[in-house]
Amino acid sequence: MTVFFLAMKKINEQFLISNMKRITFITISLVLIMGVSCSSPKKEKSTATKEVATSIEPMVEEANPGKKLYKDKGCVVCHQVNTKLVGPAIKDIAAAYSGNKAGLTAFLRGEGKAIVDPSLASVMQPQIAITKALPAEELDEIVNYILSNK
Ligand code: HEC
């Protein structure tokens, strides 16, 4: 009987100790977790912003197939949105063809004359081979994209 009680006491003590150990462990963990989450809010914010930014970019391209085509076909190399580079800014092309979607489409099919900067027409001429070969709906998307830049 005494042996049994002694054994029970021992078990109880062990249980208490292990319980205390567990509580200490939990407290330390909590302090560590709080410390980590409090000390790096800025870092988390900036990576979060970056993640949002990188996930928005493909979404924008998906929503604007004309813009993607314009980039993929290399138009962007010579035509920036707002500034003249090798070719006129898209904004200036859009202004010249404002209300004249048919005219812009015809030009990119090789059926029109340069009206924006005729002196450089020979630079743009080879590019028309690319736009001419596009399926009608893709050309339409590029035209819509150009005209949307006002
Ligand atoms: C090598 C440089 C270059 C590339 C690449 C280029 N362009 Fe051009 N583009 C020019 C130059 C230079 C002009 C100015 C001459 C002119 O007005 O035709 C021009 C003019 C234009 C014009 C105005 C046409 C007009 O009536 O004057 C349109 C529209 C145009 N480009 C669309 C495009 C598209 C779409 C692409 C992509 C498939 C493209 N360009 C690729 C150089 C380029």
- Cβ-based neighbours of 109, under 8 Å, separated by 6 or more: 128, 131, 132, 139
Please tell us whether the domain made up of 65-147 is placed in CATH 3.50.50.60.
no
The pLDDT tens digits of the residues spanning 47-60 come to 666 676 666 666 66
CA of 107 to the centre of ligand 1 (A): 10
Closest-lying ligand 1 atom to the alpha carbon of residue 131: 38
Q: Kindly tell me if the per-residue pLDDT of 129 is higher than 90.
A: yes
- Cβ-based neighbours of 10, under 8 Å, separated by 6 or more: none
Please work out whether the CB of residue 92 comes within 6 Å of at least one atom of ligand 1.
Answer: no
- In percent, the amount of the chain with pLDDT more than 90 equals 57
Please work out whether the CB of residue 114 comes within 6 Å of at least one atom of ligand 1.
Answer: yes
Q: Can you say whether the dihedral through the CA atoms of 133, 138, 143, 145 is positive or negative? A: negative
* Domain residue spans of the chain: 1-34, 65-147
Mean pLDDT of the chain: 82
Please work out whether the CB of residue 110 comes within 6 Å of at least one atom of ligand 1.
Answer: no
- pTM metric for this prediction: 0.70
Residue 150: the pLDDT is: 84
d(C-alpha 69, C-alpha 83), whole Å = 20
The pLDDT tens digits of the residues spanning 53-80 come to 666 666 665 679 999 999 999 999 999 9
Please work out whether the CB of residue 130 comes within 6 Å of at least one atom of ligand 1.
Answer: yes
DSSP state string for 95-120: HHTTT-HHHHHHHHTT-S---S-GGG
